[in-house]
């Protein structure tokens, strides 16, 4: 599990595997995704739906975006 101060999503046309490419940048995370994934991510954010992005790598990696009912319990500090 990697915690980050921020997450950036970048649409990348050179991804051939269809899997996202995560990179740690300073204290944040840059996730390069396909145009199709970006379109789906935008729709999920508009609809306030959970979303998972599968990433490339030797270990099964993914970026999870999920909505919570009580933000006070999850954002302490």
Q: How confident is the model at residue 77 (pLDDT cuts 50, 70, 90)?
A: low
Measure the CA–CA gap between 60 and 77, rounded to whole angstroms.
Answer: 29
Q: Residue length, the chain?
A: 77
- Whose tokens are 């500090």? That residue is 77
- Whose tokens are 């980050």? That residue is 4
**Would you list the domain boundaries of the chain?**
6-65
- Of the candidate CATH numbers 3.40.50.880, 1.10.3720.10, 3.30.70.141, 3.30.1360.220, the domain formed by 6-65 belongs to 3.30.1360.220
Strand, helix or coil for residue 36: helix
Q: What is the pLDDT of residue 26?
A: 86
Q: What is the pLDDT of residue 57?
A: 77
pLDDT tens, residue by residue, 12-69: 888 778 889 988 888 889 999 999 999 999 999 999 999 999 998 777 789 999 888 8
């Amino acid at each position: 599990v990697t915690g980050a101060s921020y997450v950036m999503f970048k649409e990348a046309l050179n991804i051939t595997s269809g899997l996202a490419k995560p990179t740690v940048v300073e204290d944040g995370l840059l996730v390069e995704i396909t145009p199709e994934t970006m379109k789906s991510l935008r729709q999920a954010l508009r609809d306030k739906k959970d979303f998972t992005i599968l990433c490339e790598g030797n270990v099964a990696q993914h970026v999870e975006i999920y909505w919570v009912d009580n933000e006070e319990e999850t954002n302490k500090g």
